[in-house]
């Protein structure tokens, strides 16, 4: 997974960059299960990208240190997004990771449910009614063979 980081009104130190990389890349195991069936990998481009923005919002009507973290992950048919505001940047990043993890699990469950629904529909479409079946033994006896 490719992680694009943007810092607003905050210095992006190496420690902060490593923390973001560690937290967001831990979501990759959930993405692998979701995207293993999708054909969006062409060899050159990474399968998914995560756009992360960290920083301070405007100081209007706020006292003290307030930080926010925001992350967006585009997926087929949906875009996951999480935002958190906390007093420390580390707590905000952790909360964003937890929220995205919850959303990924929900997305995965809905994809599996859709797949099962389609399978049930296909089975129902291919089912033949009892009146349309040919009973081989009955036909043989009637023909006298």
Please tell me the distance from the alpha carbon of residue 78 to that of residue 62, in angstroms, as a whole number.
Answer: 33
The radius of gyration computed from the CA coordinates of the chain, to the nearest angstrom, equals: 26
**For the segment 108-125, what is each residue's pLDDT rounded down to a tens digit?**
888 888 889 999 888 877
Range of 18's domain?
2-143
**pTM (two decimals):** 0.73
CA-CA distances (angstroms) from residue 117 to 18, 28, 33, 126, 128?
41, 27, 19, 14, 19
**CB atoms near residue 118 (< 10 Å):** 10
Q: What CATH number is associated with residue 68?
A: 3.30.160.100
Comparison of pLDDT for 15 and 43, the residue scoring more: 15
Half-sphere exposure of 102 (CA within 13 A, CB side): 8
- What mean pLDDT, rounded, does the chain reach? 81
Please tell me the distance from the alpha carbon of residue 108 to that of residue 70, in angstroms, as a whole number.
Answer: 21
Provide the pLDDT for residue 14: 94
pLDDT band for position 130 (cuts 50, 70, 90): low
Q: How many structural domains are present in the chain? A: 1
Alpha helices in the chain (DSSP H): 14-25, 28-35, 89-126, 136-143
pLDDT above 90 as % of the chain: 42
**For the segment 35-68, what is each residue's pLDDT rounded down to a tens digit?**
766 555 555 545 688 999 999 887 776 677 789 9
The pairing of beta strand 2-8 with beta strand 49-55: parallel
Burial letters 53-73, b for 16+ CB under 10 A, else e: ebbbeeeeeeeeeebbbbbbb
């Amino acid at each position: 997974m490719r992680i694009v980081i943007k810092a607003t009104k905050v210095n992006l130190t190496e420690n902060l960059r490593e923390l973001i990389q560690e937290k967001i890349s831990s979501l990759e195991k959930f993405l692998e299960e979701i995207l293993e069936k999708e054909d969006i990998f062409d060899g050159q481009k990474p399968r998914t990208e995560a756009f992360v923005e960290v920083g301070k919002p405007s100081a209007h009507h706020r006292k003290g240190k307030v930080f926010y973290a925001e992350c967006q992950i585009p997926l087929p048919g949906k875009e996951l997004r999480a935002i958190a505001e906390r007093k420390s940047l580390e707590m905000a990043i952790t909360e964003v990771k937890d929220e995205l993890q919850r959303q990924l699990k929900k997305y995965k469950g809905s994809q599996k449910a859709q797949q099962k629904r389609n399978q049930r529909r296909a089975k129902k479409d291919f089912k033949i009614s009892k009146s349309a079946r040919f009973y081989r033994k009955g036909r043989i006896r009637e023909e006298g063979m």
